[in-house]
């Protein structure tokens, strides 16, 4: 690190650097331990299980990978989901996470450490969050020195937003993707600072890993071009920028195209378009700089006017063609999820299936405080710190935070992308603040101990540029870079050389604060940090550690555990035939295939809207129509999740409107208005007949009145509208302990078809006559 470059070993500064480096390494190790251990609450409080929905799929895929090897995984055609369409898993999954965990498992096993696949999967996320904090350290160090780096790494290790996606057991793409994201950014900045082709290649590889891991890679491939464009526009073009960017686009795109799920999308979809446009621009700019170097200024002007006028025409034509091409596709070549990022109202207008996912909703203000806590207040200070002075690297993190704030405002899920940026900014802000305060204290103490003015001046001039360039810590690498960069532009050479020294002196004077104020401010900062730690630990322990397949609730008579999901999946796997098909809303698809090992109709990979709409339609239809739809799909069992008895709010009745919307989007005879009474969604006696006769209502509330005699729904806080009814086409086969999961079997078609209309008449008349004859002998 920096210590290796220190010029004179043996001097006190060198000693201090060496000591500082050892300390940094120690701190980083501790940060890693912290990042890992803060995520273990879920294992300690519950057990070592896979959480939620998507992780079960990833777990199942990893099991397949570890059993069958990579080629089988690549070509895996899964016939147990999306019946009867099946799903080509190898070609539709981001394989990064699975391959990572699979490799870890394989490595440990070949070292004779026999861990189960599940254990490896459970602990992948905590391990990678330690990596992510180290990557944050590296990135921030490149931007503002190692002090800021350590602060940022410590903040990231326990930022609640990231914890929410990476607790032990939360085995999801984001677990490794955030590490990949930060590391890619680090390598980009590193390349930008050093101009090394080696780092540029590493950068492309890191980008490849990111593409393998998460669809969020488009964030990288749009953010970096934007930064490049920003640098060009602000006159910061340099060969380092070219080296940082051009290889990334070429190699990165080639590598990205190797991932089956991306494939030709890497060059075809609009998400990648910006990178190619900027790729062209940077080449034009490079050419301009080159020509500028070999021509006299006068000739250059002539050439510019000539080229610009011709270039404008050519560009106009090319852009026109591109626009025409893009406009010819209905979505403009954008995927639905990306479009809803650009236009937040897009999904709710056109794609209910995207809008229906709660993590695709815009976040509320409290969620910012919950997820990034005090960082929200430190970020502005960090941004200001990045502007003094603005380097290529600091402009990148500023751009990063701005973009991620926007995206997090559109989708709550992308809060995860904001978290590292906020940590970096806050780390910079904190470390700058500490620098100023400790610097002032040192200065004041030095002044009080009557040191000479000369010495003071010397230290101040020595410290000043360091303060500016590298956040007060000695970082020769930074300075060298600075110098190198300033050599490139001949005109600009003097400006940066002169200005900082002048500015620094002014600044230095301004930076000296009174001793007492500094100490108080320091204490306040430490308190702020302490509050952050308390909040983070609380969030990790209480808010984000629930595995959501096992629920708990604290009541007066102690802790209640609701293990209904596993109970019912176990029932399914023990009591049904291997090839039976289970229909449920898509949320439970992954769990059913992974835990019950039964074929499902739709699952959380929402690739086929029509198929989901078919299930949605069945759920919103009356019993007979639903039976026909399910029977045509060979469904044997229907699973519904019902929270009315214990007050579990994310049950199927609360999701029901989305089923109606998604179903109605494809099958227009399902109309949302039929399910609403005066625009209100209700299940009490005021509910519409369509609602009360829908399959979902019936399956959820069948026999519900037997529990308390009134049929009081604790989620909707009302008595249900239709209490006593019989099922004609379905029969209840299993209801879990707390009624959270209810399983129904489709009745087989009637063995006989009864006679028509008269059946009722003859029946009732015979029944009535016999009864009345007995009861009323006078008639």
Partner 1 sequence: VDNPTDRRVLVLLDDLSLKSSHSIFFNTLKSRGFDLDFKLAEDSKLALQRYGQYLYDGLIIFAPSTERFGGSLDSKSIADFVDSGRDLILSADTAASDLIRGIATECGVDFDEDSSAMVIDHTSFSVSDVDGDHTLIAADDLVKSDVILGKTKIEAPVLFRGVAHSLNPTNNLVLKVLSASPSAYSANPSSKLSSPPQLTGSSISLVSVMQARNNARVVISGSVQLFSDRLIRSGVQKAGSPNQYEKSGNEQFVTELSKWVFHERGHLKAGNLVHHRVGETDEPAIYRIKDDLEFSVEIYEWSGKSWEPYVANDVQVQFYMMSPYVLKTLSTDKKGLFHTSFKVPDVYGVFQFKVEYEKLGYTTLSLSKQIPVRPYRHNEYERFIPTAYPYYGACFTTMAGFFVFSFVYLYHK
Segment contacting partner 1 (CB under 8 A): 78-86, 283-291, 346-354, 418-426? 78-86
Q: Is 627 in the site for partner 1 (CB under 8 A)?
A: no
Site for partner 1 contains 756 (CB under 8 A) = yes
DSSP codes of every residue in 379-391: HHHHHHHHTTT--
DSSP for 594-652, please give it.
III--EES--SS---HHHHHHHHHHHHSBHHHHHHHHHHTTEEEEEEE--TTTT-SSSH
Q: Which of 5, 15, 67, 84 binds partner 1 (CB under 8 A)?
A: 84
Kind plus residue range of the DSSP H or E element containing 582: strand 581-583
Residue 563, annotated ligand binder? no
Please give the Cα distance from 180 to 277 (Å, whole number): 24
Q: How far is the CB of 757 from partner 1 (least distance, A)?
A: 8
CA distance 581 to 637: 6
Rounded CA separation 180/203 (Å): 10
Q: Which of 553, 763, 764, 771 binds partner 1 (CB under 8 A)?
A: 763
The residue among 73 and 407 lying less far from partner 1, judged by its C-beta, is 73
DSSP state, 665? H
Residue 448 binds partner 1, judged by CB under 8 A: no
Give the rounded distance of the alpha carbon of 79 from its chain centre: 28
Nearest approach, Cβ of 632 to partner 1 (angstroms)?
7
DSSP 161-212: HHHHHHSTT---HHHHHHHHHHHHHHHHHHHHHH--HHHHHHHHHHHHHHHH
Which among 83-91, 184-192, 358-366, 568-576 is the span making contact with partner 1, rule CB under 8 A? 83-91
Give, to the nearest 10 degrees, the angle between helix 117-144 and helix 54-74: 100
389: preceding bond cis by omega (within 30 degrees): yes
Q: Tell me which stretch binds partner 1 (CB under 8 A): 323-331, 468-476, 505-513, 745-753.
A: 745-753
Q: Is 298 in the site for partner 1 (CB under 8 A)?
A: no
Taking the CA of residue 667 as centre, how many other CA atoms within 13 Å lie in the half-sphere pointing to its CB?
A: 18
The closest alpha carbon to 644, from 629, 631, 654, belongs to 654
Residues 160 and 542: beta-carbon distance below 8 Å:
no
Is 174 marked within a binding site? Answer: yes
**Lookup: tokens for 709:** 């005699």
Q: Which two tokens stand for residue 770?
A: 């016999």
Binder of partner 1 out of 19, 77, 198, 316 (CB under 8 A): 77
Q: Which stretch binds partner 1 (CB under 8 A): 79-87, 202-210, 685-693, 715-723?
A: 79-87
Q: How far is the CB of 258 from partner 1 (least distance, A)?
A: 11
**What is the nearest approach in angstroms of partner 1 to the Cβ of residue 666?**
15
Q: What is the DSSP letter of 592?
A: I
Choosing from 490, 750, 774, 775, the residue that interacts with partner 1 (CB under 8 A) is: 750
For partner 1, which is the closer residue by CB, 330 or 755?
Answer: 755
Residue 558 phi, psi (nearest 5):
100, -170
Scanning 55-63, 477-485, 586-594, 748-756 for contacts with partner 1 by CB under 8 A, the matching segment is 748-756
Residues contacting residue 192 through CB under 8 Å, at least 6 positions apart = 240, 241, 244, 392, 393, 396
Q: CB under 8 A: which stretch of 52-60, 71-79, 450-458, 672-680 binds partner 1?
A: 71-79
- Output the smallest distance, CB 236 to partner 1, in A: 27
Does the protein bind partner 1 through residue 261 (CB under 8 A)?
no
In the complex, minimum distance from the CB of residue 608 to partner 1, in angstroms, rounded to a whole number: 11
556 lies in the site for partner 1, by CB under 8 A:
no
Is 590 labelled as part of a ligand binding site? yes
561 strand-pairing partners: 552
Asked if 128 interacts with partner 1 (CB under 8 A), we say: no
Distances in Å between the Cα of 165 and the Cα atoms of 54, 129, 359, 535, 614 are 11, 10, 12, 17, 31
Among 135, 204, 132, 197, which residue's Cα sits nearest to residue 166?
Answer: 132
Quick one: 9 or 86, whose CB is closer to partner 1?
86
What 3-state DSSP class applies to 737? coil
Q: Which of these segments, 97-105, 185-193, 542-550, 763-771, binds partner 1 (CB under 8 A)? A: 763-771
Is residue 427 classed as helix, strand or coil in its secondary structure? Answer: helix
When asked if residue 633 is in the footprint of partner 1 (CB under 8 A), the reply is: yes
- Contact between 366 and partner 1 by CB under 8 A: the answer reads no
- By beta-carbon proximity to partner 1, the closer residue of 6 and 599 is 599
Q: What is the DSSP letter of 296?
A: -
SS3 state of residue 42: helix
Rg of the chain over all Cα atoms, to the nearest angstrom: 32
Q: Is the CB of 356 or the CB of 584 nearer to partner 1? A: 584
Least separation in angstroms between CB 260 and partner 1? 8
Taking CB under 8 A as the criterion, the residue among 758, 764, 772, 773 binding partner 1 is: 758
Q: Which of residues 576-595 bind partner 1 (CB under 8 A)?
A: 579
Taking the complex as a whole, how short is the minimal distance between the CB of residue 74 and partner 1, in angstroms? Answer: 6
- Residue closer to partner 1, measured from CB, 260 or 336: 260
Nearer to partner 1, 579 or 628 (CB): 579
Least separation in angstroms between residue 690's CB and partner 1 is 26
Beta carbon nearer to partner 1, 451 or 632: 632
- Check: CB of residue 402 under 8 Å from CB of residue 382: no
Residue 74 binds partner 1, judged by CB under 8 A:
yes
Residue 666 in the binding site for partner 1 (CB under 8 A): no
Does 575 interact with partner 1 (rule: CB under 8 A)?
no
Give the CA-trace dihedral at 202, 207, 211, 214, to 10 degrees. Answer: 120
Q: Known binder of ligand: residue 580?
A: no
CA within 13 Å, CB half, 117: 17
In whole angstroms, what is the distance from residue 561 CA to residue 664 CA? 37
Q: Is 752 annotated as a binding residue?
A: no
Residue 74 or 531: the one with the smaller Cβ distance to partner 1 is: 74
- Minimal distance in Å, beta carbon 83 to partner 1? 6
Q: How far apart are the first and last CA of the chain?
A: 108
Taking alpha carbons only, the member of 180, 183, 173, 158 closest to residue 37 is 158
Q: Are 548 and 51 in contact (CB under 8 A)?
A: yes
Q: Is residue 766 within the footprint of partner 1 (CB under 8 A)?
A: yes
Cβ distance to partner 1 smaller for residue 283 or 758: 758
Choose which of 556, 574, 754, 775 interacts with partner 1 (CB under 8 A). Answer: 754
Minimum gap (Å) between residue 283 Cβ and partner 1: 16
Is 726 near partner 1 (CB under 8 A)? no
CA distance readout (Å), 748 to 630, 634, 753, 764? 12, 11, 13, 26
Identified binder of partner 1 from the candidate list 110, 112, 554, 751, rule CB under 8 A: 751
Largest pairwise CA distance in the chain:
128
Judged by beta carbon, residue 756 or residue 774, the one nearer partner 1 is 756
β-bridge partners, 731: 745
Q: Does 8 bind partner 1 (CB under 8 A)?
A: no
Choices 31-39, 47-55, 459-467, 756-764 (CB under 8 A): range interacting with partner 1 = 756-764
Report the alpha-carbon angle 438-439-445, nearest 5.
85
Among residues 79, 457, 686, 732, which is the contact residue for partner 1, using CB under 8 A?
79
Under the criterion CB under 8 A, does residue 83 sit at the interface with partner 1?
yes
Known binding residues for dolichyl diphosphooligosaccharide are: 413, 590
Known binding residues are: 54, 172, 174, 413, 590
Known binding residues for Mn(2+) are: 54, 172, 174
In the complex, the residues that contact partner 1 under the rule CB under 8 A are: 74-75, 77, 79, 83-86, 88, 90, 579, 599, 632-633, 749-756, 758-759, 761-763, 765-766
């Amino acid at each position: 690190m920096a210590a290796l470059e220190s010029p004179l070993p043996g001097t006190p500064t060198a000693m201090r650097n060496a000591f500082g480096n050892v300390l940094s390494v120690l701190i980083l190790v501790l940060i890693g331990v912290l990042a890992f251990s803060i995520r273990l609450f879920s294992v300690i409080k519950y057990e070592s299980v896979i959480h939620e929905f998507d992780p079960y799929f990833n777990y199942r895929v990893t099991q397949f990978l570890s059993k069958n090897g990579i080629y089988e995984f690549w070509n895996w055609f899964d016939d147990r989901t999306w019946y009867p369409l099946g799903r080509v898993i190898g070609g539709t999954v981001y394989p990064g996470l699975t391959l990572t965990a699979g490799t870890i498992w394989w490595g440990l096993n070949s070292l004779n450490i026999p861990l189960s696949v599940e254990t490896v999967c459970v602990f992948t996320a905590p391990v990678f969050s330690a990596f992510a904090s180290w990557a944050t350290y590296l990135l921030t160090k490149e931007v503002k020195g190692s002090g800021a780096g350590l602060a940022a790494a410590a903040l990231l290790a326990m930022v609640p937003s990231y914890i929410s996606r990476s607790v032990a057991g939360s085995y999801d793409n984001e677990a490794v993707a955030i590490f990949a994201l930060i590391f890619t950014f680090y390598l980009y900045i590193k390349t930008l600072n050093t101009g090394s082709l080696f780092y540029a290649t590493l950068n492309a590889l890191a980008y490849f890993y990111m593409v393998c891991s998460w669809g969020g890679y488009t964030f990288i491939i749009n953010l970096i071009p934007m930064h490049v464009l920003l640098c060009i526009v602000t006159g910061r073009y340099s060969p380092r920028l070219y080296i940082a960017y051009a290889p990334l686009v070429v190699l990165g795109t080639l590598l990205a195209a190797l991932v089956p799920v991306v494939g030709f999308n890497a060059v075809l979809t609009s998400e990648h378009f910006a990178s190619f446009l900027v790729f062209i621009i940077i080449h034009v700019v490079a050419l301009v700089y080159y020509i500028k170097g070999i021509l006299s200024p006068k000739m250059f002007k002539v050439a510019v006017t000539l080229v610009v006028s011709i270039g404008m025409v050519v560009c106009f034509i090319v852009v026109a063609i591109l626009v025409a091409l893009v406009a010819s596709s209905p979505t403009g070549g954008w995927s639905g999820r990306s479009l809803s990022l650009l236009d937040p109202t897009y999904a709710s207008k056109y794609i209910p299936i995207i809008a229906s996912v709660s993590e695709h909703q815009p976040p509320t203000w409290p969620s910012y405080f919950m997820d990034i806590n005090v960082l929200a207040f430190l970020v502005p200070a960090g941004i200001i710190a990045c502007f003094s002075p603005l380097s290529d690297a600091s402009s990148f993190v500023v751009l990063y935070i701005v973009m991620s704030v926007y995206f997090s405002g559109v989708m709550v899920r992308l809060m995860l992308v904001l978290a590292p940026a906020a940590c970096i900014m806050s780390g910079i802000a904190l470390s700058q603040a500490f620098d100023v305060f400790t610097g002032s204290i040192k200065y004041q103490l030095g002044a009080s101990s009557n040191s000479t003015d000369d010495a003071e001046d010397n230290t101040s001039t020595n410290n000043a540029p360091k303060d500016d360039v590298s956040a007060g810590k000695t970082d020769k690498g930074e300075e060298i870079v600075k110098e190198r960069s300033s050599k490139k532009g001949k005109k600009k050479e003097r400006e940066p050389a002169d200005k900082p020294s002048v500015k620094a002196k002014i600044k230095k004077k301004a930076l000296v604060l009174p001793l007492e104020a500094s100490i108080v401010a320091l204490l306040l900062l430490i308190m702020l940090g302490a509050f952050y730690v308390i909040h983070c630990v609380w969030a990790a322990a209480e808010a984000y550690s629930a595995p959501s397949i096992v629920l708990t609730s604290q009541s007066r008579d102690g802790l209640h555990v609701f293990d209904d999901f596993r109970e019912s999946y176990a029932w399914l796997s023990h009591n049904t035939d291997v090839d039976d098909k289970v229909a449920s809303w898509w949320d439970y698809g992954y769990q059913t295939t992974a835990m019950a090992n039964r074929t499902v109709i739709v699952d959380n990979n929402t690739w086929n809207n029509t198929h989901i709409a078919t299930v949605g339609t069945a759920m919103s239809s009356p019993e007979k129509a639903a039976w026909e739809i399910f029977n045509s799909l060979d469904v044997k069992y229907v699973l519904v999740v019902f929270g009315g008895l214990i007050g579990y709010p994310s049950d199927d009745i609360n999701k029901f409107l989305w089923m109606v919307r998604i179903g109605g989007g494809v099958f227009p005879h399902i109309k949302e208005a039929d399910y609403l009474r005066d625009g209100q969604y209700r299940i009490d006696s005021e509910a519409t007949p369509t609602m009360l006769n829908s399959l979902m209502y019936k399956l959820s509330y069948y026999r519900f009145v037997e529990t308390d005699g009134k049929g009081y729904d604790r989620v909707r806080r009302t008595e249900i509208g239709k209490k006593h009814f019989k099922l004609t086409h379905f029969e209840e086969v299993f209801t879990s302990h707390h009624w959270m999961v209810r399983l129904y079997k489709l009745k087989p078609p009637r063995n006989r078809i009864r006679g028509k209309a008269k059946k009722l008449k003859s029946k009732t008349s015979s029944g009535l006559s016999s009864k009345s004859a007995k009861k009323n002998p006078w008639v």
